[in-house]
Structure 1
Amino acid sequence: MDKIIVHDTPLSEPDIVEPGMPKEHFEAMPVQSLSDYDTSNKRTPINPKGVKSQVLRRWLVLGSSLLLSIWGVNEMHTVLGADNMTFIQYLFLILFALTFSWITVAFSGSIVGFFLVCAQRLQKPKRLTNTLVGRTAVLMPTYNEDPDRIYAAIEVMAVEIAESGESKAFDWFVISDTTDPEIVLKEEAGFHTLRQRISHSTNVYYRRRQNNTARKAGNVSDFCKRWGASYDHLLVLDADSLMEADTMLELARRMEADPDSGLIQTIPQLINGTTLIARLQQFSTCVYGPIVGTGLAWWTHKEGNFWGHNAIIRTKAMMSAAGLPDLKGAPPFGGHILSHDFVEASLIRRAGWSVTIAADLYGSYEECPPSITDLAIRDRRWCQGNLQHGRIITAKGLHWVSRSHLLTGIMSYLSSPLWLMLILVGLALSLQAEYIRPEYFSDQFSLFPTWPQMDAARALSLFAFTMVILFTPKTLGLISYMIHSPLRKRCGGFFILMLSFIVEIILSAMLAPIMMLIHTGAVFSILIGQDSGWNPQRRDDGSLPVKHLIYRHRWHMIVGLLLTVAGYLNSLALLAWLSPAILGMLLSVPLSLLTGSWAVGNAVKKSTILSTQYEKEKPIIQQAMDDTRSVYQTAVNNAPDLIEIAANPKWRAVHLSLMDSIPLRARGQINVVEATATVKILEATTIVEAVSYLNKQEQTCVLGTPDLFKKLSSLPRYSES
């Protein structure tokens, strides 16, 4: 299809009020045990090979990674002087072993991924054509996000599905955890607009929880328990997700064609970024991502992973096998499981379902944080969630590949403090050689002195080989684009693509030490017991005041300054070796300022540097979303306020129809916010007066509590005097 056609429907106050959600179909979602697992409960596959992975793939990727790691560690052992190593040298060797082994898996997998991706691009995509017989619930969780973007995305996706003739197979749900009363009202206004525009062809629903227990995982779990049993599949998106109809249909068809499939994850591509940091992420994901992702999908096979969104899940598998327990103790290591996706994939696989990554489906998109600060906020939450996996990785019954995914999540953040420790221990080795007198004669009698050993030539060759291991995935990604003429042209041609590659390498190298310190700080804060909280994510401009940036990066500059002094006191040669890391730290404020600036990013965008194939030729669905978004911007900007919806009978009826049911309160358990709001409303004589008394938290409570909202609505709008 060449164009997604959306119809302009005149907006008006509602005449017919429909319920926000369909009839509930309650079914239990048992909490799974991590300390015990009865293998007799594991399902028997319908297809004997339905959940069996090809072992040769693991031997090829992980075996080669292991051999490379052994060789590299042995080389470093020789470099340091195998016969006369000090404690600091042993510590350096251990840290090198951990960090070097970490990068060899991506290296081995990317080589396989390169050949697979090149082959895929030469072939016509294979797609199933069977008519869908099951029903899929498309879930769009949101938490204080921009409603106009969400509803524009749902409309264009739903319209594209309707044009395929399969709209009856998909119902669309906005499941909200929003806590800001102004955004709540905008969500409802946007939803009313959405229903007016597409309800003739598509079922679309809205539900907002009053208490966002367990965050996104709890949001999806609540939906599963109350409505999930009515659907065969759940297609889980994020508030910034976008997916082509071809991809959604193929996911549903693959689910129906494979009765042993429990979860299919796509590899989302990043779009819509303008700031420099966003463009760096987009370029990396588009050019290098397919190589690494396809390699990962190939060797993990039936034991793939889940990244929380842009994936389809069999409802039966989710509800019967993936009910998440709370971890004992308080946050950050206890409480609700934050990075729920890895754990849900592990539990679904444990129960006997396959979990796969559909690396051949490209019509899956998302957006990325617009600044280093926003990356840090997001990664702080992810870091806490992944470190929680240290308490889950030993859970009974998990497949060893599922455990490796959990370990990967842990190491993705622990690798930063390990790299920092490696730098500091290496610096200590240099200082030891410079300032501490070596003991040439040991306590034991010997005719010959024991000379300090350091094989400089071997060290240099090992460093070069480490750089090859580190940069091979990126180089293979670049080559895969260079040899594919359509992609090369969409990225600006040979010269621009090479320039973009060089710019990405340089900027990433300068930003890497900053991110290393950010992740190290996150790990440290978690270890001392600090919880991450839950903050909404910015999507567009990442600009922040310089004063704020200086405060955010103060420790990064101090560490860079200390390393500069230590390197200079030792030797200019050491300072030169440390300079790539030091430079990024010292320039953290200007780098953060420039990479988060919309104006700078837009100028780079116009130059076509760091372009991706999705910029020169926007996906049709992205262009349709951009064109449609203005309709919802108008709707949410004109959303009635709390006074209007309480006083206007039509808007009041709409709001009541969208309100979620509230569980009965146990006697003696008082909600302080609700109680305070009740007293304020009872003391007021008009709606205007009552709303003026309520703070934001109390307004949100009123909007989510039917009885309280009705009390407010029973008042006159204005005083009669």
Structure 2
Amino acid sequence: MTTRHEPGMPMLRPASMPAQNLRQRPDAQAIVTPRTSKQHLRRWTLLGAAAALLGLGSYEMYSVLALGGTTPLEYAMLGLFISTFGWIALAAVSALFGFVRQCRQLRNPLRHELFRPRGRTAVLLPCYNEDPAHLAAAVEAMVQELVNCGAADWFDWVLLSDTRDPRRALEEEQAVTLLRQRLGQKTRIYYRRRRYNIDRKAGNVAEFCRHWGSHYDYLVVLDADSLMSAFTLTELVYRMEQDPGAGLIQTIPRLINGTSLIARLQQFANRVYGPIVGSGLACWTNPEGNFWGHNAIIRRAAFMNAAGLPRLKGKAPFGGTIMSHDFVEAALLRRAGWKVVIADDLPGSYEECPPSILDLAIRDRRWCQGNLQHIKVIGSRGLHWISRMHLLTGIMSYLSSPLWLALILVGITLALQAQYIRPEYFGVDFSLFPTWPRQDAPRAVRLFILTMLILFVPKILGSLLFLLSNRLRRSAGGLFRLSGSIVTEVLVSAAIAPIMMCIHCGAVASILLGRDSGWNPQRRQDGSLPWLQLIYRHRWHTLAGILLALIAWSNSLALLAWLSPAIFGLVLAVPLSALTGSLGIGAWFKRVGILRTPEETQAPSVVALKDDLLPWYEEQIAVTPTVEQLLDSPELVARHLALTPDPALEEDSERFQANAALARVKLLDAGSRQQALVWLSSTELSLVLATPFLFQQLVALPCRKLSAA
């Protein structure tokens, strides 16, 4: 007799989550508290200062170009400069405001007394072919911290799987079983794997909301690599209950567990410069903040009523599923009157980062497509102008690379024109004197210095904050290690910046050519790749660097010197990619204390607990039964069926039904389980495991060995 297993999900409680009409302004669902004059003054002072910087830079650039008259090519250079300089000016002023805000927060640490919430919270962990051992260790670490502070029963934990790999799916079931056994009555663990990953992560969360969301008042959305301290989780709930107008509260995650050099570099930059940037953004955008898709709490009713995503007209990459759904969901919540708040003062929010340049490229390709889709969303009716700014910033974060590249190419063209093309000494208009094409070289040098200074303001202020704070300085390894870390970060970032610019340009070009990015699982730890693969992936970057060097050298040594940083990064793209993705080099930097962060000096308790639990979960999940072993065990079959949801809950298209029909035909024709497993493709087997009646068909087949024939 088999044991009765707990179902994967709670009882159904259906509710509607209508897709929003982007062409129609909705009725307000909540009233945001009017901003004070102080808030208005802060916002307009910041924007005014950024506009003044833009005006100064534009005037200086025009003065450089207009010394001997302005040609169409010089006007093009001026336009490109203005379109790129404006964003770094805004970032610089925002960082200055963030620096002041961070200094205040250091003097006044956050305190919070535990309370008893009125509402219930579900912690959602969407995952797609992720390592179940890491997921399980993270969940247990967070739950154990909540147990220690008496708040474990506030939260339910829901793993929402879109995993396609059959082996990974069985490992997820094993992880859920282990969690339930270890945590017992301390909390509730739920699990659901969808048959079809319709609309990707956003669709997964939306389906949960429609079927089970009404059980809860709040949703904490995490990524598969996220961690949150008990203090931060409970504080998010507290702030939601204290502010009935809050629709979403977003934390600023800190990067942890970087193993390769590029991961450690991102981790250090995020920790030292990130708080300045995040606080600056919070300073002028709240309560029209933004959502980054994870490590945030959402008011469930507001989300379901106001943030249902429509499908964009047309085909991918610009149409179909909204990929960068988070920016749009934040904009829709604010459109309905709900506050969207960036909680820049909450420290206990963590995530991991890609381990190599090529993994960054894969992630950025997906983000680039999602952000460029916002071109179709930014004009939606009723959006707050700050929400439009968030969307525009996301678009420009990728379009700025082609603009910078165009600016460099126009500059090179002007230099080549001056050397190889005979100037027009007399123009169309009558003049007694020839028109000489000239630029103001001393002013150009001053403008370059000004641009670099503004570009580095966030880094300078973030470094200054750490250098001035005894606690932060010691936690980053002391004065000498911190100084070495800052220099290392600046040099390595400058070296890989041209590579990332070309990667972003390639992503934009690919999208404009109509290519969809797809949805690939992300690597988390090892960023190393074979040299032949690196050479193939970076071949165009290297050739571009060589070509740029030849063009500059043929013109002048001065131009070669000006372009040397870009040339260096591109020509050495392959070795730079190999070195920055190496675990060995990353480990060496960790040993000597370069790029050290406070979280490495003293690991937060939730991070340390996860690291302690991980080896046990890896050992237990490594012995997960295979499909054949599962089919031979009535106990495991019963457990699997209990964790498998009713397929009627999903909205299947005809294309998906065709896959199910093909799998069913193979099962009907198979003479044994072994034969069926040979015939079924990985995709079909994944579908069978997620469909109860197909799985039962597979179980019902006789078990016998295939003949030698």
Please show how residues 239-250 of structure 1 align to structure 2 within 5 Å: 239-250=224-235
Structure 1 consecutive aligned stretches of length 4 or more whose deviation exceeds 6 Å: 50-53, 664-670
Please say which of residues 555-564 and 323-332 is displaced more in the overlay: 555-564
**Offset of residue 568 of structure 1:** 0.8
Given candidates 659, 672, 680, the residue that maps to 1:686 is 672
Tell me the CA shift for residue 69 of structure 1. 0.2
May I ask how many residue pairs the two structures share in their alignment?
706
Give the drift of 1:486: 1.4
On the 8 A contact 2:552/2:560 being kept in 1, the answer is: yes
Aligned mates of 2:104, 2:190 — CA distance in 1: 41
Could you tell me how far apart the structure 2 residues matched to 1:48 and 1:279 are?
Answer: 41
| Structure 1 residue 313: Cα displacement | 0.4
**1:33 and 2:21 aligned:** yes
CA RMSD of aligned residues (A): 1.8
Shift of 1:681: 2.1
SS in 1 for 2:125: strand
CA contact (8 A) 1:51 1:302 kept: no
Quote the residue 2:659 is aligned against: 673
Give 1:716's match in structure 2, choosing from 695, 702, 705.
Answer: 702
Deviations 1:406-445 (A, max 9, x none): 0000000000000000000000010111112222222333
CA spacing shift, 1:372–1:53, aligned 2, 3 Å: farther
Which letter maps to 1:25? R
From 599, 604, 620, the equivalent of 1:619 is 604
- Select which of 151, 161, 171 maps to 2:136: 151
Tell me the alpha carbon deviations over residues 510-545 of structure 1, each in whole angstroms, 9 at most, x when there is no partner: 100000000000000000000000000000010001
Q: 2:166 — aligned with what?
A: 181
Mapped partners of 2:697, 2:365: distance in 1: 41
**Pick from 369, 383, 388: which aligns with 1:398?**
383
Would the aligned equivalents of 1:51 and 1:354 in 2 still touch at CA under 8 Å? no
Deviation at 1:131, TM superposition (A): 1.6
TM-superposed CA distance for 1:667, in Å, is: 12
Match of 1:167 in 2: 152
Aligned to 1:5: none
Specify the code of the residue in structure 1 equivalent to 2:227: L
Matched, 1:530 2:518: no
Distance 2:97 2:432 in 1: 55
Task: State the 1:673 CA deviation.
Answer: 2.6
> For the residues of structure 2 that align with 1:678 and 1:395, how far apart are their CA atoms?
44
Which whole-Å CA distance do the structure 1 matches of 2:374 and 2:652 have between them? 34
Superposed displacement of residue 683, structure 1: 2.7
Q: 1:705 to 1:603 in 2, by over 3 A?
A: same
2:65 maps to 80
Residues 533-542 or 441-450, more deviating = 441-450
* Candidates 655, 665, 668, aligned match of 2:640: 655
Which residues in structure 2 correspond to 1:304-453 (within 5 Å)? Answer: 304-453=289-438
User: Per the alignment, do residues 558 and 83 of structure 1 end up closer, same or farther by CA in structure 2, a change over 3 Å counting?
Assistant: same
On the 8 A contact 1:543/1:593 being kept in 2, the answer is yes
2:685 equivalent in structure 1:
699
Kept in 1: contact 2:311–2:321 (CA 8 A): yes
Instruction: Name which of structure 1's ranges 209-218 and 118-127 shifts more when overlaid on structure 2.
Output: 118-127
| TM-superposition CA deviations, 1:283-319 (whole Å, max 9, x none) | 0000000001001001101000000000000001100
Identity %: 54
How much has 1:662 moved relative to structure 2? 0.9
Residue 447 of structure 1, CA deviation: 2.5
The answer on whether the counterparts of 2:9 and 2:192 sit within 8 Å (CA) in structure 1 is yes
Pick closer, same or farther for the CA change 1:680–1:95 going to 2, 3 Å.
Answer: same
Amino acid at match of 1:696: S
Q: Distance in 2 between matches of 1:402 and 1:666?
A: 33
TM-score by length of 2: 0.97
Secondary structure of the residue aligned to 2:273 is helix
**In structure 2, what is the Cα distance between the partners aligned to 1:490 and 1:395?**
46
Give, as a single letter, the amino acid of the residue that structure 1 aligns with 2:34.
K
Instruction: Decide whether the 8 Å contact of 1:647 with 1:687 is kept in 2.
Output: no
Displacement of 1:505 in angstroms is 0.5
Alignment deviations for residues 177-197 of structure 1 (CA, whole Å, 9 cap, x no partner): 000001000000111101100
TM superposition score normalised by structure 1: 0.96
Confirm or deny that 1:122 pairs with 2:110: no
Q: Does the 8 A contact of 1:305 with 1:355 survive in 2? A: yes
Is the aligned partner of 1:251 residue 2:236? yes
Q: Deviations over 1:259-280 (max 9, x none)?
A: 0000000000000001000011
TM-aligned CA distance change 1:14 to 1:175, over 3 Å: farther
Q: 2:456 aligns to what SS in structure 1? A: helix
Aligned to 1:54, the other structure's residue is in SS state: helix
- The one-letter code matched in structure 2 to 1:192 is T
Q: Which has the higher mean CA deviation after the structures are superposed, 658-667 or 422-431?
A: 658-667
The match for 1:574 is: 559
Which secondary structure state, in structure 2, belongs to the residue aligned with residue 134 of structure 1?
coil
Do 2:122 and 2:220's aligned partners in 1 also have CA atoms closer than 8 Å? yes
Contact 1:52–1:302 (Cα < 8 Å) also in 2:
no
Change (3 A) 1:246 1:718: same
> Which residue identity does 1:23 align to in structure 2?
M
Which AA in structure 1 matches 2:381? K
Tell me which residue corresponds to 2:472.
487
- Counterparts of 1:598 and 1:687 in 2: how far apart (Å)? 42
C-alpha distance in structure 1 between counterparts of 2:572 and 2:265, whole Å:
18
Q: Which secondary structure state, in structure 2, belongs to the residue aligned with residue 338 of structure 1?
A: coil
- Separation in structure 2 between the aligned mates of residue 174 and residue 449 of structure 1, nearest angstrom: 74
Q: 2:11 aligns with which of 23, 26, 30?
A: 23
CA contact (8 A) 2:124 2:158 kept: yes
1:680, distance to aligned residue in structure 2 (A):
2.4
Deviations 1:114-171 (A, max 9, x none): 1111121122213254321210000000000000000110011011112221222110
1:40-83 per-residue CA deviation (whole Å, 9 max, x = no partner) reads x11242x7438999211221111100110011001100100166
Structure 1 gaps, min length 5: 1-12
How do 1:286-301 residues align onto structure 2 when only pairs under 5 Å count?
286-301=271-286
Deviates more, 1:441-450 or 1:273-282: 441-450
- Indicate how the Cα distance of structure 1 residues 136 and 51 shifts in structure 2: closer, same or farther if over 3 A, else same: farther
Give the equivalent residue in structure 2 for 1:4.
none
Alpha-carbon distance in 2 for matches of 1:51, 1:164: 36
The CA distance in 2 between the partners of 1:525 and 1:233, in whole Å, is 39
Match of 2:455 in 1: 470
Question: What code does the residue aligned with 1:680 have?
Answer: K
Q: Residue type matched to 2:368 in 1?
A: C
CA distance in 1, matches of 2:690, 2:247: 34
Q: What SS is found at the alignment partner of 1:663?
A: helix
Counterpart of 2:45? 60
- Is the CA contact (8 Å cut-off) linking 1:96 and 1:422 kept in structure 2? yes
Partner of 1:500: 485
Counterpart-to-counterpart distance in 1, 2:47 and 2:655: 55
Q: Distance in 1 between matches of 2:229 and 2:526?
A: 26
Q: Is the 8 A contact 1:305 1:356 kept in 2?
A: yes
Question: Which consecutive unaligned segments of at least 5 residues does structure 2 have?
Answer: none
Bigger mean CA deviation after superposition, 707-716 or 60-69: 707-716
Check whether the contact 2:158–2:189 (CA below 8 A) recurs between aligned residues.
Answer: yes
Give the structure 2 partner of residue 635 of structure 1. Answer: 620
CA gap of 1:268–1:720, structure 2 versus 1, over 3 A, is: closer
